[in-house]
Amino acid sequence: MPSVTLKEIAETLGISIATVSKALKGYPDISESTKQRVQELAKSLNYHPNSFAQSLRTQQSNLIGLIIPEIVHHFFANIIQGVIDEAKKEGYLVIVLQSDESYIHEKEQLQLLLEKNVDGILISLSDKTVHYKHVKEVIDAGMPVVLYDKISKSLDCSKIIIDDRGAAKDATTHLILRGCQKIAHISGPLKPQTTIDRYLGYKDALKEHGISFQKELVYTSENLSYEDGYALGEQILIDHPDVDGIFSFTDLVATGALTKIREMGIKIPDQVSIMGFSNWFLARITTPTLSTVDQPGYRMGQEAFKQLCKEIKMTKDQEIILPEIIKIPTKIVQRQSTR
Amino acid sequence: MPSVTLKEIAETLGISIATVSKALKGYPDISESTKQRVQELAKSLNYHPNSFAQSLRTQQSNLIGLIIPEIVHHFFANIIQGVIDEAKKEGYLVIVLQSDESYIHEKEQLQLLLEKNVDGILISLSDKTVHYKHVKEVIDAGMPVVLYDKISKSLDCSKIIIDDRGAAKDATTHLILRGCQKIAHISGPLKPQTTIDRYLGYKDALKEHGISFQKELVYTSENLSYEDGYALGEQILIDHPDVDGIFSFTDLVATGALTKIREMGIKIPDQVSIMGFSNWFLARITTPTLSTVDQPGYRMGQEAFKQLCKEIKMTKDQEIILPEIIKIPTKIVQRQSTR
DNA sequence: TTGAAAGCGCTAACAT
DNA sequence: ATGTTAGCGCTTTCAA
Residues 6+ apart with CB under 8 A from B154: B132
Is B283 part of the contact surface with chain A (CB cutoff 8 Å)?
no
Instruction: Kindly report the nearest CA distance between residue B53 and chain A, in angstroms.
Output: 6
The residue of chain A nearest to residue B119, with distances taken between CA atoms, is: A1
Q: Measure the CA–CA gap between B186 and B202, rounded to whole angstroms.
A: 10
Q: Give the distance, in angstroms, between residue A253 CA and nucleotide D8 C1'.
A: 54
Among B residues 158-187, those touching chain A with beta carbons less than 8 Å apart: none
For residue range B182-228, list pLDDT tens digits in order: 999 999 998 888 999 999 999 999 999 999 999 999 999 999 999 99
Amino acid at A135: V
Q: Give the distance, in angstroms, between residue B111 CA and nucleotide D11 C1'.
A: 29
pLDDT of residue A109: 94
Q: Measure the CA–CA gap between B130 and A185, rounded to whole angstroms.
A: 52
Among A residues 209-248, those touching chain B with beta carbons less than 8 Å apart: 226
Instruction: Kindly report the nearest CA distance between residue B138 and chain A, in angstroms.
Output: 10
Amino acid at B11: E
Residues from chain B contacting residue A77 (CB–CB below 8 Å): 71-73, 77
Residue of A96, A282, A285 with shortest CB distance to B80: A96
Is B120 part of the contact surface with chain A (CB cutoff 8 Å)?
no
Q: Give the distance, in angstroms, between residue A40 CA and nucleotide D1 C1'.
A: 19
Q: What does each C-alpha distance from A32 to A19, A29, A36 come to in angstroms?
A: 12, 9, 6
What average pLDDT score do residues B29-35 get? 85
Tell if the CB–CB gap between B93 and A97 is shorter than 8 Å: yes
pLDDT of residue A2: 56
Question: Which three-class secondary structure state does DSSP give residue A143?
Answer: coil
* Burial (0-12, 13-18, 19+ Cβ within 10 Å), A232: buried
Residue of B61, B84, B255 with shortest CB distance to A97: B84
Q: Give the distance, in angstroms, between residue A173 CA and nucleotide C9 C1'.
A: 62
pLDDT of residue A330: 97
The backbone region for B16, taken as left when phi is positive above 0, alpha when psi lies in -120 to 50, beta otherwise, is beta
pLDDT of residue B2: 56
DSSP code for A278: B
Residues from chain A contacting residue B262 (CB–CB below 8 Å): 287
Nearest alpha-carbon partner for B283 in A131, A226, A19: A226
pLDDT of residue A162: 95
Tell if the CB–CB gap between A282 and B282 is shorter than 8 Å: yes
Q: What does each C-alpha distance from A221 to A190, A200, A203, A256, B300 come to in angstroms?
A: 10, 16, 18, 11, 32
Residues contacting strand D at CB < 7 A? Answer: A 14-19, 22, 28-31, 33-34, 53, 56-57; B 5-7, 17-18, 21-22, 24-25, 49-50, 53-54, 56-58
User: Per CATH, the architecture of A164-294 is what?
Assistant: 3-Layer(aba) Sandwich (3.40)
Q: Among A22-26, B121-125, B273-277, B310-314, where is mean pLDDT lowest?
A: A22-26
Residues from chain B contacting residue A97 (CB–CB below 8 Å): 84, 93
Is strand C in 7 Å reach of the CB of A116? no
Chosen for mutation from B73, B83, B92, B93 (greatest number of chain A CBs closer than 10 Å) is: B93
More confident residue, B3 or B19: B19
For residue range B246-269, list pLDDT tens digits in order: 999 999 999 999 999 999 999 999
For residues B77 and B280, is the Cβ–Cβ distance under 8 A? no
Instruction: Kindly report the nearest CA distance between residue B204 and chain A, in angstroms.
Output: 32
Q: Max Cα separation, chain A?
A: 89
Tell if the CB–CB gap between A259 and B287 is shorter than 8 Å: yes
Q: Measure the CA–CA gap between B128 and B131, rounded to whole angstroms.
A: 9
Is strand C in 7 Å reach of the CB of A316? no
Instruction: Kindly report the nearest CA distance between residue B142 and chain A, in angstroms.
Output: 5
Residues from chain A contacting residue B78 (CB–CB below 8 Å): 72
The superfamily CATH assigns to domain B6-162+298-330 is Response regulator (3.40.50.2300)
| DSSP strands (E only) in chain A | 63-68, 93-98, 120-123, 145-148, 158-162, 183-187, 218-220, 245-248, 273-275, 292-294, 325-328, 331-333
Task: Name residues of chain A where pLDDT drops below 70.
Answer: 1-2
Q: Report the nearest residue to nucleotide D3, CA vs C1'.
A: A16
pLDDT of residue B203: 98
Tell if the CB–CB gap between A96 and B94 is shorter than 8 Å: yes
Q: Looking at the predicted structure, is the pLDDT value of residue B130 above 90?
A: no
Q: Give the distance, in angstroms, between residue B131 CA and nucleotide C11 C1'.
A: 39
Instruction: Kindly report the nearest CA distance between residue A211 and chain B, in angstroms.
Output: 33
The residue of chain A nearest to residue B315, with distances taken between CA atoms, is: A1
Tell if the CB–CB gap between B72 and A74 is shorter than 8 Å: yes
What average pLDDT score do residues B223-238 get? 96
For residues B293 and B332, is the Cβ–Cβ distance under 8 A? yes
For residues B255 and B283, is the Cβ–Cβ distance under 8 A? yes
Which nucleotides of strand D lie within 7 A of protein CB?
1-5, 7-13
pLDDT of residue A8: 87
Residues from chain A contacting residue B256 (CB–CB below 8 Å): 285
Is A328 part of the contact surface with chain B (CB cutoff 8 Å)?
no
For residue range B84-119, list pLDDT tens digits in order: 999 999 999 999 999 998 899 999 999 999 889 999
In this chain, the answer to whether the domains covering A6-162+298-330 and A164-294 adopt an identical fold is yes
Instruction: Kindly report the nearest CA distance between residue A164 and chain B, in angstroms.
Output: 23
Which nucleotides of strand C lie within 7 A of protein CB?
1-5, 7-13
- For chain B, which residues make up each domain, given as ranges? 6-162+298-330, 164-294
pLDDT of residue B317: 81
Q: Measure the CA–CA gap between B299 and B307, rounded to whole angstroms.
A: 12
Q: Looking at the predicted structure, is the pLDDT value of residue B1 above 80?
A: no
